[in-house]
Amino acid sequence: MVSYGGRGVHGRIVETLGRRVVSGEAGEAREESTLDPRALAEEFGVSLTVIRESLKVLAGKGLVAARQKHGTFARPRSEWNVLDADVIRWRMAGGEADELLRDLAELRLIVEPAAVRRAAGRRTDADLSALDRALEDMGAAGEDPVAAAAADTAFHRALLTASGNELLARLHEVIEPALHARDSIVHARHHTAGDPVPSHRAVVDGIRARDADRAADAMADLLAKASADHDLAVRGSGALDGAPGATPT
């Protein structure tokens, strides 16, 4: 689930090939089509070793595989690691934002209210400090879309960590890529539906007071706003990349 951190030529090749496989670009990497490492090496002007190492990275994400006498091929979509951060990001870039954000909303509705209930009983002073810092950053971000998106993802990461459940905490690796992409769309607009800090602070206040019902209710309100924002974006433009502004959640 961890995003690939490659840089330079190797990172660029992984990025390009990953997007090709996920988007199914015509004539390049359709599902179950073969990928010729030698042709790719010639295309990118790199060694065959670099191409093979890049394909290994994609194999780890379930996007490609190699078989003797069959070569390297793009795997069926059903075999992709859809929880991988890069796969999520490439799907967002490839035009699947609406579908992914719908799935994200459903996942958060299942996970986050339960997480805040546990956080209310298990949170530590360090957890509260992390949540408070995220709120401060959210307030200081103003109209800076990059800073605002970073603050929001930091908030939800701290929220899951505060649950005291290591597996829940690691779910941030699944949620963050799509959440960050959503926030980037939302914050990039010049007009927003309002200050996001009060609704987020209400969740923290419930956790701080060790009031599980209060925290869960505040989280439910936050998620309801997220759903409304998503619906507004789709109705307003028919595509999320042209969506009107909305409150980040």
pLDDT digit string, tens, across residues 90-101: 988 888 888 888
| Gap between the Cα atoms of 47 and 26, Å rounded | 25
Residues 151 and 230 in one domain: yes
Give the predicted TM-score (pTM) of the model.
0.74
User: DSSP label at 1?
Assistant: -
Residue 26: pLDDT band with limits 50, 70, 90: very low
- Higher pLDDT, residue 12 or 7: 12
Return d(Cα 36, Cα 102) in angstroms, integer: 36
Structural domain range at position 204: 96-240
Residue 90 is assigned to a structural domain of this protein? no
pLDDT one-digit tens code per residue, 38-81: 999 999 999 999 999 999 999 999 999 988 777 899 999 999 99
How many domains does the chain divide into?
2
Q: Are residues 100 and 126 in the same domain?
A: yes
C-alpha–C-alpha distance, residues 132 and 146, integer Å: 19
29, 44, 79 - which closes a domain: 79
For residue 237, the model assigns a pLDDT of 47
- Note whether 147 and 43 are same-domain residues: no
